[in-house]
């Protein structure tokens, strides 16, 4: 629909106000993790896809890493397979791994790729197997026990962590019109598949590419204290304390850990923001205040 004159003036003003941010971010890489809990409805998914297309068009390089935990849970449910989590990680048997690969590499990945393409972008979907993008090793999870000296080591099956990333593939796509859309499935040198938490993949991708920002889109307004206030600008020590007293638990654990690791490894800033709000990525990038929880490499 054509804009009337007042709307057009508003749009031009908004575009003009974006200039300093554009100058700051053009040519930079922004890793956006799109959590399964933020893929609420078609309209929201479409607005996310539009944001990625717009970023690429104006010369910023978005790299999408997606989750799909609830979508995996849904199919497991239909197949009468129970879901169990330890420290926010899905216990993954061989049977579960097949479902994870089908849902993440198939349904969710192609849905996002398709939406970006429908909005005029050029998306390429990848799992860690494509171009040997994500080399994985088995993740050993430890759980605190009353004897602090001896944490319990728990085997959670085919769950991996990122051992290395083949940046050649991502560099090639960053230098082109293509937007990479990555499903968090890794592979080891014997060709075994690993289910990797999507936050961990996004963090490592941001680290190896020395991204300007790591943006984690989730289903909550940010990291919160027990009273529901959004916490921002935290030191490492404060985060450790919040984990120890149980304020940070479940799915927020890998999220906060990967955000801290990323900024310690040279990513300028990490942001945990509400993916249920339309265009939240653009709001974060193009406003001074930003939205949600900001994590930078402040010592402490």
Ligand X SMILES: CC(=O)N[C@@H](CCC(=O)OP(=O)(O)O)C(=O)O
DSSP 8-state assignment for residue 157 = B
Contacts of 174 (CB under 8 A, 6+ apart): 29, 61, 63, 209
Q: Is 128 in the site for ligand ADP (CB under 6 A)?
A: no
Q: Is 174 in the site for ligand ADP (CB under 6 A)?
A: no
Q: Is 73 in the site for ligand ADP (CB under 6 A)?
A: no
Q: Is 50 annotated as a binding residue?
A: no
Q: Is 68 annotated as a binding residue?
A: yes
Query: What is the rounded CA–CA span in Å between residue 43 and residue 40?
Result: 8
Which one among 83, 132, 219, 297 touches ligand ADP, defined by CB under 6 A?
A: 219
Q: Is 117 in the site for ligand ADP (CB under 6 A)?
A: no
Nearer CB in complex with ligand X: 40/172: 40
Nearer CB in complex with ligand ADP: 76/220: 220
DSSP 8-state assignment for residue 50 = H
DSSP 8-state assignment for residue 165 = E
Radius of gyration of the chain (CA): 19
Q: Is 232 in the site for ligand ADP (CB under 6 A)?
A: no
Q: Is 121 in the site for ligand ADP (CB under 6 A)?
A: no
DSSP 8-state assignment for residue 144 = -
Q: Where are the beta strands (DSSP E) in the chain?
A: 29-34, 61-66, 85-86, 89-90, 122-127, 134-138, 141-143, 152-154, 160-165, 178-183, 185-187, 193-195, 213-218, 269-274, 293-295
Q: Is 195 annotated as a binding residue?
A: yes
- Choose among 208, 209, 203, 163: nearest CA to 186: 163
Site residues, ligand X (CB under 6 A): 35-37, 67-69, 72, 89-90, 100, 159, 184, 195, 197-198, 251
- Binding positions for ligand ADP, 36-55, rule CB under 6 A: 36-38
Q: Which does 249 bind (CB under 5 to 8 A by kind): ligand X, ligand ADP, none?
A: ligand ADP
Query: What is the rounded CA–CA span in Å between residue 217 and residue 33?
Result: 6
Give the shortest CB-184-to-ligand X separation in angstroms.
5
Q: Which does 252 bind (CB under 5 to 8 A by kind): ligand X, ligand ADP, none?
A: ligand ADP
Distance of alpha carbon 215 from its chain centroid, rounded?
7
Q: Which residues fall in the annotated binding site for substrate?
A: 68-69, 90, 195
Residues that bind ligand ADP (CB under 6 A): 35-38, 67, 69, 199, 218-220, 223-224, 247-252, 255
Q: Which residues fall in the annotated binding site?
A: 68-69, 90, 195
């Amino acid at each position: 629909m054509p804009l009337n004159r007042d709307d057009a003036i508003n749009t031009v003003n908004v575009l003009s106000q974006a200039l300093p941010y554009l100058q700051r971010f053009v040519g930079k890489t922004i890793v956006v993790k799109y959590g399964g809990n933020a893929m609420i409805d078609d309209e929201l998914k479409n607005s996310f896809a539009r944001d990625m297309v717009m970023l690429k068009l104006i010369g910023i390089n978005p790299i999408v890493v997606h989750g799909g935990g609830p979508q995996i849970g849904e199919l497991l449910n239909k197949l009468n397979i129970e879901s169990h989590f330890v420290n926010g990680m899905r216990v993954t048997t061989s049977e579960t791994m097949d479902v994870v690969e089908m849902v993440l590499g198939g349904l969710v990945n192609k849905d996002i790729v398709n939406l970006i393409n429908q909005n005029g972008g050029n998306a390429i979907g990848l799992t860690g197997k494509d171009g040997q993008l994500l080399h994985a090793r088995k993740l050993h999870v430890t759980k605190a026990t009353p004897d602090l000296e001896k944490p319990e080591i728990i085997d959670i099956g085919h769950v991996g962590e990122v051992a290395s990333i083949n940046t050649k593939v991502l560099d090639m796509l960053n230098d082109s019109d293509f937007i990479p859309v990555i499903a968090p499935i890794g592979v080891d040198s014997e060709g075994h598949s690993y289910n990797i938490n999507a936050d961990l993949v996004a963090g490592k991708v941001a680290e190896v590419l020395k991204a300007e920002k790591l943006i984690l889109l989730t289903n909550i307004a940010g990291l919160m204290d027990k009273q529901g206030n959004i916490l921002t600008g935290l030191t490492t020590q404060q985060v450790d304390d919040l984990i120890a007293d149980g304020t940070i638990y479940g799915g927020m654990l890998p999220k906060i850990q990967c955000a801290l690791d990323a900024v310690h490894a040279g990513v300028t800033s990490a942001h945990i923001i509400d993916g249920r709000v339309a265009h939240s990525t653009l709001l974060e990038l193009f406003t001074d205040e930003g939205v949600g929880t900001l994590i930078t490499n402040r010592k402490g």
